[in-house]
């Protein structure tokens, strides 16, 4: 059983015992179900109106939910996500993903199996633009090419130029973090030992810029 605490019901002011864990999840906040209904009714009475920043529709929310941490108002998760692409809000990553060597190995093996089976994985608009431009210029390439290292670990490069053993990697802002740069440098060195030269281009978020940089890296070889 969880830790029990005594508290006063916000509706009838009766002292009751509640489970601390459930309180932490927003439960057992009143002494009874009837008081719970009354508490919810009070909250509904305090609802305020807002205008969705994406679709322009009017919506109602509790005061604490009208202006979110992203600085804009949205009527639904769908409008919130759409607002990202419109530049109405920025994505805030409180705790970035941290990959261990074990998880990286599992992911790389899964990617190798997927590509071996002919499956395609989603990739950014910038890489799709680069694919189209390379194809228009008649450059032979393999997108998301899998290379198996001597250790048995599979790595995936963004673009591979067969016959020249050249890999082109598109570096996103996340790639510029020191830990990621150090890991990529070691991977590039390991690929170099296999005779694969790695070229890197910066992803500034503009598909046309990235595509042009990838093309220049490809034809410059």
CATH classification of the domain holding 122 = 3.40.960.10
User: Domain boundary at 57, 92, 127, which?
Assistant: 92
Length of the chain: 221
Integer CA distances (angstroms), 104 to 148, 155, 179, 189, 196, in order: 14, 9, 14, 18, 21
Per DSSP, the chain holds a count of helices (H) and strands (E) of 8, 8
Same domain flag for 1 and 54: no
Cα–Cα distance, 147 to 195 (Å, whole number) = 12
Residue 199's contacts (CB-CB under 8 Å, 6 or more residues apart) are 166, 167, 168, 169, 217, 221
Same domain flag for 106 and 214: yes
Same domain flag for 108 and 203: yes
Chain centroid to Cα 21, Å, comes to 30
Does the predicted TM-score (pTM) go above 0.85?
no
Same domain flag for 150 and 117: yes
Cα–Cα distance, 194 to 148 (Å, whole number) = 10
Counting the structural domains of the chain, the total is 3
Instruction: Please state, as a whole number, how many other Cβ atoms lie within 10 Å of the Cβ of residue 128.
Output: 15
Same domain flag for 25 and 124: no
Same domain flag for 105 and 214: yes
Same domain flag for 137 and 192: yes
Same domain flag for 106 and 207: yes
pLDDT by position in tens, the chain (length 221): 568 889 998 888 899 998 888 888 888 888 988 888 888 777 655 667 778 877 888 877 766 665 555 556 777 777 777 776 666 766 555 554 454 666 556 655 665 565 555 444 445 677 778 888 888 888 888 888 888 777 777 788 888 888 778 888 887 765 556 666 788 888 888 888 888 888 888 877 677 777 787 888 777 75
Same domain flag for 191 and 133: yes
DSSP 8-state symbol, 156: E
Same domain flag for 37 and 71: no
Cα–Cα distance, 188 to 167 (Å, whole number) = 9
The range of the structural domain enclosing residue 120 comes to 101-219
Integer CA distances (angstroms), 116 to 131, 147, 194, in order: 20, 11, 21
Instruction: Please state, as a whole number, how many other Cβ atoms lie within 10 Å of the Cβ of residue 108.
Output: 19
Same domain flag for 71 and 177: no
Tokens representing 68 are 């979110």
Cα–Cα distance, 51 to 66 (Å, whole number) = 9
Same domain flag for 24 and 51: no
Cα–Cα distance, 103 to 168 (Å, whole number) = 24
């Amino acid at each position: 059983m969880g830790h029990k605490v005594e508290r006063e019901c916000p509706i009838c002011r009766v002292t009751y015992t509640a489970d601390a864990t459930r309180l932490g999840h927003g439960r057992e906040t009143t002494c009874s179900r009837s008081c719970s209904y009354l508490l919810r009714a009070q909250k509904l009475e305090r609802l305020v109106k807002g205008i969705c920043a994406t679709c322009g529709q009017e919506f109602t929310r509790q005061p604490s939910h009208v202006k979110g941490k992203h600085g804009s108002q949205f009527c639904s998760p769908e409008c919130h996500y759409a607002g990202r692409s419109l530049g109405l809000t920025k994505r805030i990553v409180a705790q970035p993903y941290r990959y261990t060597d074990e998880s990286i190995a599992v992911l790389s093996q899964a990617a190798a199996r997927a590509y071996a089976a002919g499956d395609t994985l989603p990739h950014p608009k910038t890489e799709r633009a680069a694919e189209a431009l390379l194809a228009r210029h008649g450059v032979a390439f393999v997108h998301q090419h899998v290379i198996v290292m001597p250790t048995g670990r599979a790595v995936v490069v963004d673009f591979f130029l067969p016959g020249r053993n050249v890999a082109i990697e598109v570096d996103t802002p996340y790639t510029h973090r020191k830990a990621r740069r150090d890991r990529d440098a070691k991977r590039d060195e390991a690929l170099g030992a296999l005779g694969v030269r790695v070229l890197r281009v910066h992803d500034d978020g503009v598909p046309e810029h990235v595509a042009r940089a990838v093309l220049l890296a490809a034809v410059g070889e």
